[in-house]
Structures are given as C-alpha cells and as structure tokens.
Amino acid sequence: MSSIEEASGSVATNADSARELAGSIASSKVLLDSLAARLDAIGVETAAQRTHAAGDRAEELAGHANALADALDSLGQQVEAIKGLLASAIRSGAGKSDRSRSPRTASTASAFAAQEPLPLKGPVASTPPTGIGKRHFFERIRMKSPAKEKNTVVMPGVDTDADIAAIKTGHSTYLRDNLYEVNDRTYGLETPGGGVYPVRGKGFVELDKLEYTALKGLLTYGGNRAKAESDPQIARFSHHMTDKTWETARNVFNQGQERA
C-alpha cells in the first residue's frame, strides 16, 4: 500500500512540475513575441522572423508540457482509483478470513511453526499434512459436497490451521493408526496424499448422511427448508428425512450462523 501511495504522490508532483514548465515556456513565448515585435520595429527583419519562429516553437512546447501535465493528472486519478480498489479488496479479504478462521489463526499457527519441532510419530513422519477438504467447513459446504455415512463439520471460528501446524511439528498427541489429537480435537491424516480430516471434538459437529444433506440444503437456500426440500438432490430423500433430521440440521445451521 505504501508503494501505491508513493507512486500516487510522485505522479501528482510530476504533473505539477509539467504544468509549471508549461507556464514558464508560455511566459517565454510572450517575451519572444515582444522581442520579435521590437526587432521588427527597428528594421531587423530577419532576426525578428527568427524570434517569431522561436516564439511559435515555444508555444508548441508549452502545449506539449500542458498535455503532459494533463496525462499525469489522469494517471494520478487512475492510481488513486487503484488505491481505492486495493483498500476494499484488503478489507473484503480480511472479512472472509474472519469467517473461516479465528482472528488469531495466523499468529497461533505461526507460533506453533516457530516452536522447536518435536519428534514426529505415526504417518506424519513421512506424510506432511496439507489441509482440510472444503466439504468439512460449515462455510464452504455446497450442494455438490458429498454426503457420507459419517460427516464431521468444522464450525466457524475453529483454528484448524493452528491444529495442523501442531500436528506438523509434533505438538499434538499421536493416538493410533493415522489419528492425532490437539486442542481437544481429533484429526485423521490421509496417506499418501496428506489431506487432513476432522473426526470429532470441540467445535466439530458429526452428522449422518441425511442430516448433512439437509444442512447442505439450508446453507444453499439461506435457511429456507421449503426451498431446500424442493431441490432435486434433496427431494429424492423426501421419504427418508424426518422432522428430526431437519431439526438437527437447523440447529447446526443456526449455530454456524451465530459463530460466523
């Protein structure tokens, strides 16, 4: 942002300089015209013509300098516009980040990364963890997200980046097989890909296939159950979903909205 501001200031200064130059050249043109008139009056015709030509040239140069000043002004406005766009993009990016991560995500994750790495146990020793699939995040569930027999959803505000950093650096508890526990949450590590998936714990919600499907509908249709039920991908389960299915999904939906 500081570079943009510097560029904006520099363009404005150059525009002012160009305008000053145009003013000086224009003044010179007035002086040259005056000199040409005097030379003409005293009969030095050739010199008068040359001075006149120099005045015309000065006028032309003044025009160019003014055009340059106008162009720099225009450039300055564009730089200002870019500055505005960047500022709003940064604000928007910060908002998204707040919805998917806790405000302390970056600092907490980097805090783990900065700690002394401990010996790694289990598959993490040979499979570096990457990230968690979007189908697990409340804010990123879409209608096409696959509904499995068991589905664990990460609620907004859970600092999964910090948890993964802890697993990566050996600061989690290795349970067994491919399972790790950190901050009262259990995660699995996929091999060989390195994907991490939430299993259970604080800030996680476990849903069955129909409950997860209902949640997908509520998220897609802004909490409107009737609209969700009319979506073909949900309508096909109309004989299998019950009011309890929808109540469970609704509770998760409401909790997620409150935490987001």
Partner 1 sequence: MRDYTIVFIEPVDLADLAAAAADAFAIPPEQIEIWNGSAFAATATEPVIAQVAIGSGPGAYAEFVGFDKFAEHADEPEHLAVAVELATRVKRRAVFGPESAEDFRWTLVAADGSHGKVVLDGDRLDDGAIAIVGAVETISGAPELPRVPEAL
Residue that is written with structure tokens 């590590």 in the block? 189
3-state helix vs strand vs coil in the chain, percent to 5:
65, 10, 25
Nearer residue to partner 1 within complex by CB, 123 or 156 = 123
Nearer residue to partner 1 within complex by CB, 9 or 146 = 146
As a whole number of angstroms, the distance between CA 165 and CA 137 comes to 18
DSSP designation for 146: P
Nearer residue to partner 1 within complex by CB, 96 or 236 = 236
DSSP designation for 139: G
Closest approach of partner 1 to the CB of residue 127, in Å: 6
Closest approach of partner 1 to the CB of residue 197, in Å: 6
Closest approach of partner 1 to the CB of residue 87, in Å: 32
Residue 9 C-beta-side C-alpha neighbours within 13 Å: 6
Q: Where are the beta strands (DSSP E) in the chain?
A: 150-154, 173-176, 179-182, 185-189, 196-201, 204-208
Nearer residue to partner 1 within complex by CB, 25 or 252 = 252
Nearer residue to partner 1 within complex by CB, 95 or 192 = 192
Nearer residue to partner 1 within complex by CB, 72 or 163 = 163
Task: Assess contact for 115 and 171: CB atoms under 8 A.
Answer: yes
Closest approach of partner 1 to the CB of residue 83, in Å: 36
Give the DSSP H/E element, type plus range, for residue 74.
helix 45-100
First vs last C-alpha separation in the chain: 28
As a whole number of angstroms, the distance between CA 206 and CA 245 comes to 13
Closest approach of partner 1 to the CB of residue 113, in Å: 23
Tokens of 168: 């990566």
Closest approach of partner 1 to the CB of residue 259, in Å: 21
Closest approach of partner 1 to the CB of residue 257, in Å: 22
Tokens of 73: 């002004």
> Site residues (CB under 8 A) for partner 1?
122-123, 126-127, 133-135, 144-146, 148-152, 177-179, 186, 188, 190-193, 195, 197, 199-200, 206, 208-210, 232-233, 236, 239-240
As a whole number of angstroms, the distance between CA 199 and CA 175 comes to 12
Nearer residue to partner 1 within complex by CB, 83 or 200 = 200
